[in-house]
Structure 1
Amino acid sequence: MFLKQMALGMLAGVALNASAQAADIDHVLLISVDGLHALDVANFVEAHPNSAMAELTGHAVTFSNARIPFNSDSFPGLLALVTGGSPITTGLFYDVSYDRTFFDPANTTCKGAPGNFMVFDETIDLYKGAVSQNVIDPTKLPRRLLNGQCVPVFPHQAIKTNTIFEVVKAKGGRTAWADKHPAYDLVNGPSGKGVDDLFTPEITNAPPPPAVGFDATVSVDCTVANDALKVTAIINEINGLTHDGRPAGGAPAVFGMNFQAVSVGQKLAKDNSDGSCPQSTHSGQPGGYVDGRGTPSAVLAFGLQKTDEALGDMIKALKNRGIFNSTLFIVSAKHGQSPINPAKVTKPGHFADLVASLPDSGTDPGAQAILSAGNCPTGSCGFIQDDDVALVWLGDQSKTQAAVDYLNKNAKALFIEDALAGDEIELKLNSPKHDSRTPDIFVQPIYGTIYTTSGKKNAEHGGMSFADVNVGLVVSNPRLQATTIKTPVLTSQVAPTILRALGIDPDELNSVRVEHTTVLPGLFDKD
């Protein structure tokens, strides 16, 4: 059995159907169903008692009060699951963010004042015409000085801590992961070699103009089809193959994927609005929820159902392979989605535009500092990232207090619930004065507010509202009795739990040591 250490790898007697016996966990399958709230899990299982999710929760510890450690973008959300940390140690707040020491991709000599965007989304793909080649184009990456050389920074090089994949691989275990963009090279960790079998079929083609690529996320049906590529990869890996069916010598010790259909089903204002998804069966129908109780629309219900069917296929494959009992099956999410209640949706426009519309924005020093960041085309003048959050990196950090005072004074007009800066930031994160990644200001808008004018989406993530950060978390194995733990936990506790289940010391993860992340309760003896 893989790296079994009896002192570390025993499931708790209170959770086992028998007395404390070795759980014999040889594999961990980690699934992120992006957008999946704890409420979605409860509602789906209640409505579908014969579903795959119901089977998993029937022998699982379900954490109904699990939350993401900080903000709810995909990057920090996934890194919580696979590093055991938050942006304090991972150094990443968003897939498109800012670093005060980086340079523009076109600045190949790293001359001039440092400070530039870190773009790690679909736009860094290598394209032929309008088709992503599912690899990263190094010429599109931010650059930094390293040993006197101006070099591109790949996503995995931007992480400041190691991952479970690196730790497991170092102990002799095989690793695999599948995700939505080539930028999820991220999970390789700083070594660049953590994942043996990385599969990243691009879901959202965004080639340079004038080319226009096909975007699967225009429709829940086309998103399900993209998810299915990754599901096939998981089935192959369960059967001891690589994601594309080549011999690999057995199922990975730790592997998994992300699903996008639920997230897309939550966000779509109108399915297949541009008619580009030929297999859409929901064209013109709204996504999201129909009420504040979390009742899914037909579009979202389809995403949930197809995701559940895929989980069922994985369960079947594990059973056929004879490794279901030796696999810890974890279902969670990188992020939730906000708002759940459609009556709460407000889309007032982009954050910087709202600031610019205020009558004194042209004269107030704080407003001018914000607008300078919002209008920065490249370089050291700052950056604003907004969705249902606004992260502000100022070009002139000496203006931070003036900027946050201006925001607080105009909170109502700017739909602001809270604006964090100074001590309020430093109580939760590394100081922006000393950390090149930490935003100077973190703006949490009023619940339901999305800083956009887009008519395509009625929900978003990135912020810290309850709907953003409260996600489903199910840890399942046939030896476990169905238990629900309502005590608050963090999704960052998943990473040390995975290592402990495989008999590896969780302190092998840097983030676990620095942030004092504990394993999830209720799963191991003496917790």
Structure 2
Amino acid sequence: MSRRPVHSVRSVTAAAAALAAVGALTAAATPASAHAPVHPRAARHVLLLSVDGLHQADLAWYIARHPHSALARLAGGGVEYTHARTTNPSDSFPGMVGQLTGGDPGTTGVYYDDTYSSALLPAGTTKCAGVKPGAEVDLTEDLDKNQDSLDAGQGLSGLPGSILQMTGNPTTLLDPAKLPVDPKTCRPVYPHSYLRVNTVFEVARTAGLRTAWSDKHAAYDILNGPSGKGIQDLFTPEINSKAVGYAAGADWTKDNAGTEQYDGYKVRAVLNEIDGYDHSRTHKVGTPAVFGMNFQSVSTAQKLPASDGLTGGYQAKGVPGPLLAKNLDFVDQQVGALLTELRTRHLADSTTVILSAKHGQSPTDPTALNRIDDGPLLDGLNAAWKAAHPGAGDLVAHAVDDDAMLIWLTDRSQAAADFAKAYLLARSGTGNGIDGKARPFTASGLQTLYAGTAAARYFHARPGDDRVPDLVGVTQYGVVYTGGKGKIAEHGGAHADDLDVPLVVSGAAAPHGVRVDSPVRTTQIAPTILRLLGLDPRSLDAVRIEHTRTLPAR
């Protein structure tokens, strides 16, 4: 993966000294089994907040116009990393998994929220003998027992008002018949079992610390880690369920006010946890050592052409439009409520708050938008393959195209990958721009296309790995693969708009008013959390594999 050149106002060597109270240097070479505290504990609690879609430029824009805002206080009261990058692909699952494991997709095995494995058996398989491997691995709302219900099928009455009564063990809300099957055991593979490395939550639990998290699908069971026991209180109201009180049949992402309402439920859960309760405020359990949530409403404000009478997205390159500006105010208010509660409960001096994002969103320049329907491209590829190979079936086993192109093939040979690459790079056609008018495209909207072994190298994965895509396409800037005109931005790609996210470490043990302009990665959050809590970063599998460093501070 390419890295941005260093533009630091302070040297990296000097940087190492500041989170010195936190010991924020390279992970110490101690045994991986050492889960007990091995460093001075700089914080008793770490609150992690992911504002999905938020760019570092958005944060800077907002703070410049609201210098007394909660976000300004958070950044000014800690260390702000101005050149932080999330995982590539820049999707929710690899992004969040990276923050909480310290690893990139080539290590974690998690490339997207909807992928493919050539080693697993299709969902619903009950008799495994003789079944050909190859299965979709879906980590979306599709796994819920009832994806139309905010409680994912738990059966609560009085929704949405009763949603805080949702279980803290959403693994029970996943339909096993929708999960891929392990051919060795002929049993369903749950999201937590699919993850190849352990998580911050597992290390914290082994050390006897309490853990909690709030996110958007029951499939975030993946953050429990391979043990399945990392998070004691996992609150996951289904964001893609039918939104009560909004347009008929629409989910909570189709109206930005609805997404804000949805985010508010998770904020309430975290406030309850700050107060020492479980997310439902039913049981007094103590404030977690590691906890937090994701915000989804910035993402919908960036993607929706309009909502609530306001224009979505950006009004010029990097300049938030009315809907996004309004939503940044909402996020600021919610973050402010969390900071206020920490002070009220006398926890501000013992809590480190980390703010970042799973992913950015592209394009931030509305004039660059080119919406391309990928369906005809994939259909054409399959037809060309069959024409060249009489009697063959479809070449495309699975594809995920947002503002990147990830394709898994039924024939995993280099020759098949090269065939697909040549076909796609020869395609031209017509998409549509921000104004809905026709806009031509070439090379299937791609800037670069990696095929076969080159795709594996791109992700630093082993060639032939059962999960790595056979083709990885980096789009031309502004391309979004969609069949309609219902969205104006997406994520998942490798452009700066996808990858450049905020990263702030503030509160306990963090020096005030520090800017670090050298490049950092959001995967560095995971070892930093453990070091803050006095635990060994090398207890994380991915930290040992990738040599992931903790965050510098100056």
- Shorter-chain TM-score: what band? 0.7 to 0.9
Question: Aligned residue for 1:126?
Answer: 145
Please give the alpha-carbon distance, in whole angstroms, between the structure 1 residues aligned to 2:192 and 2:382: 44
Aligned: 1:170 with 2:194: no
Q: Is the 8 A contact 2:352 2:507 kept in 1?
A: yes
| Deviation (angstroms), 1:8 | 9.3
Question: Aligned residue for 2:376?
Answer: 353
Cα distance, 1:363–1:136 mapped onto 2, change above 3 Å = closer
Instruction: Name the SS of the counterpart of 2:311 in structure 1.
Output: coil
| Deviation (angstroms), 1:143 | 1.4
Instruction: Name the SS of the counterpart of 2:202 in structure 1.
Output: helix
**Paired letter, 1:313:** A
Q: Which runs of 5+ in 2 are unaligned?
A: 1-17, 25-39, 155-172, 429-441
Q: Which runs of 5+ in 1 are unaligned?
A: 1-6, 14-21, 272-281, 375-381
Question: Aligned residue for 1:278?
Answer: none
Instruction: Name the SS of the counterpart of 2:320 in structure 1.
Output: coil
| Deviation (angstroms), 1:425 | 2.5
Aligned: 1:384 with 2:399: yes
Q: More displaced, 55-64 or 477-486?
A: 477-486
Cα distance, 1:129–1:342 mapped onto 2, change above 3 Å = closer
Question: Aligned residue for 1:17?
Answer: none
Instruction: Name the SS of the counterpart of 2:146 in structure 1.
Output: strand
| Deviation (angstroms), 1:145 | 2.2
| Deviation (angstroms), 1:11 | 3.9
Q: Is the 8 A contact 1:72 1:464 kept in 2?
A: yes
Please give the alpha-carbon distance, in whole angstroms, between the structure 2 residues aligned to 1:423 and 1:120: 26
Cα distance, 1:459–1:269 mapped onto 2, change above 3 Å = same
Deviations, residues 37-62 of structure 1 (Å, cap 9, x unaligned): 00011001111111110010111111
The correspondence for 1:191, drawn from 215, 220, 227, is 227
Question: Aligned residue for 1:400?
Answer: 417
Aligned: 1:297 with 2:316: no
Instruction: Name the SS of the counterpart of 2:348 in structure 1.
Output: coil
Instruction: Name the SS of the counterpart of 1:217 in structure 2.
Output: coil
Instruction: Name the SS of the counterpart of 2:481 in structure 1.
Output: coil
Aligned: 1:466 with 2:469: no
Instruction: Name the SS of the counterpart of 2:306 in structure 1.
Output: coil
Question: Aligned residue for 1:287?
Answer: 312
Please give the alpha-carbon distance, in whole angstroms, between the structure 2 residues aligned to 1:115 and 1:137: 20
Q: Is the 8 A contact 1:432 1:439 kept in 2?
A: no
Please give the alpha-carbon distance, in whole angstroms, between the structure 1 residues aligned to 2:383 and 2:189: 40
Deviations, residues 83-141 of structure 1 (Å, cap 9, x unaligned): 00001211011111001111222222234210010011011111287663252122211
Q: Trace 1:29-428 onto structure 2 (pairs within 5 A).
A: 29-110=47-128, 111-127=130-146, 132-133=152-153, 135-146=173-184, 149-205=185-241, 213-271=249-307, 282-283=308-309, 285-292=310-317, 294-350=318-374, 352-356=375-379, 361=384, 365=388, 372-374=394-396, 382-398=397-413, 399-410=416-427, 412-428=442-458
| Deviation (angstroms), 1:303 | 1.6
Q: More displaced, 134-143 or 261-270?
A: 134-143
**Paired letter, 1:353:** P
Q: Is the 8 A contact 1:289 1:340 kept in 2?
A: yes
Cα distance, 1:250–1:516 mapped onto 2, change above 3 Å = same
Please give the alpha-carbon distance, in whole angstroms, between the structure 2 residues aligned to 1:203 and 1:358: 34
Q: Is the 8 A contact 2:51 2:355 kept in 1?
A: yes
Please give the alpha-carbon distance, in whole angstroms, between the structure 1 residues aligned to 2:391 and 2:52: 36
Q: Is the 8 A contact 1:224 1:306 kept in 2?
A: yes
Please give the alpha-carbon distance, in whole angstroms, between the structure 2 residues aligned to 1:199 and 1:359: 41
| Deviation (angstroms), 1:423 | 4.3
Deviations, residues 219-239 of structure 1 (Å, cap 9, x unaligned): 111101110100001111011
Instruction: Name the SS of the counterpart of 2:314 in structure 1.
Output: coil
Q: Is the 8 A contact 1:61 1:522 kept in 2?
A: yes
| Deviation (angstroms), 1:24 | 3.5
Q: Is the 8 A contact 1:8 1:500 kept in 2?
A: no
Please give the alpha-carbon distance, in whole angstroms, between the structure 2 residues aligned to 1:510 and 1:522: 24
Instruction: Name the SS of the counterpart of 2:186 in structure 1.
Output: strand
Instruction: Name the SS of the counterpart of 1:118 in structure 2.
Output: strand
Please give the alpha-carbon distance, in whole angstroms, between the structure 2 residues aligned to 1:400 and 1:204: 34
Cα distance, 1:451–1:319 mapped onto 2, change above 3 Å = same
Please give the alpha-carbon distance, in whole angstroms, between the structure 2 residues aligned to 1:12 and 1:426: 35
Instruction: Name the SS of the counterpart of 1:167 in structure 2.
Output: helix
Please give the alpha-carbon distance, in whole angstroms, between the structure 2 residues aligned to 1:481 and 1:438: 41
Please give the alpha-carbon distance, in whole angstroms, between the structure 1 residues aligned to 2:83 and 2:390: 38
| Deviation (angstroms), 1:505 | 0.8
Identity %: 41
The correspondence for 1:442, drawn from 468, 472, 475, is 472
Q: Is the 8 A contact 1:32 1:258 kept in 2?
A: yes
Q: Is the 8 A contact 1:8 1:501 kept in 2?
A: no
Please give the alpha-carbon distance, in whole angstroms, between the structure 2 residues aligned to 1:118 and 1:241: 34
Deviations, residues 169-216 of structure 1 (Å, cap 9, x unaligned): 100110000001111111101100000110001111279xxxx85401
Aligned length: 483
Q: Is the 8 A contact 1:387 1:460 kept in 2?
A: yes
Q: More displaced, 40-49 or 295-304?
A: 295-304
| Deviation (angstroms), 1:424 | 2.8
Q: Is the 8 A contact 2:45 2:288 kept in 1?
A: yes
**Paired letter, 2:232:** D
Question: Aligned residue for 2:538?
Answer: 507
**Paired letter, 1:122:** E
Question: Aligned residue for 1:10?
Answer: 21
Cα distance, 1:410–1:150 mapped onto 2, change above 3 Å = same
Q: Is the 8 A contact 2:381 2:395 kept in 1?
A: no
Question: Aligned residue for 1:477?
Answer: 507
Question: Aligned residue for 2:29?
Answer: none
Please give the alpha-carbon distance, in whole angstroms, between the structure 1 residues aligned to 2:419 and 2:427: 12
Please give the alpha-carbon distance, in whole angstroms, between the structure 1 residues aligned to 2:457 and 2:147: 46
Q: Is the 8 A contact 2:141 2:219 kept in 1?
A: yes
| Deviation (angstroms), 1:407 | 3.0
Instruction: Name the SS of the counterpart of 1:64 in structure 2.
Output: strand
Please give the alpha-carbon distance, in whole angstroms, between the structure 1 residues aligned to 2:461 and 2:536: 30
Q: Is the 8 A contact 1:97 1:118 kept in 2?
A: yes
Please give the alpha-carbon distance, in whole angstroms, between the structure 1 residues aligned to 2:140 and 2:390: 29
Cα distance, 1:48–1:224 mapped onto 2, change above 3 Å = same
| Deviation (angstroms), 1:250 | 1.8
**Paired letter, 1:372:** D
Aligned: 1:454 with 2:484: yes
Question: Aligned residue for 1:3?
Answer: none
Q: Is the 8 A contact 2:107 2:461 kept in 1?
A: no
Cα distance, 1:372–1:510 mapped onto 2, change above 3 Å = same
Please give the alpha-carbon distance, in whole angstroms, between the structure 1 residues aligned to 2:324 and 2:368: 18
Cα distance, 1:68–1:365 mapped onto 2, change above 3 Å = farther
Please give the alpha-carbon distance, in whole angstroms, between the structure 2 residues aligned to 1:429 and 1:358: 24
Q: Is the 8 A contact 1:12 1:522 kept in 2?
A: no
Deviations, residues 461-518 of structure 1 (Å, cap 9, x unaligned): 1111110011011111165221111111110001001111111110000000001100
Instruction: Name the SS of the counterpart of 1:300 in structure 2.
Output: helix
Q: Is the 8 A contact 2:382 2:394 kept in 1?
A: no
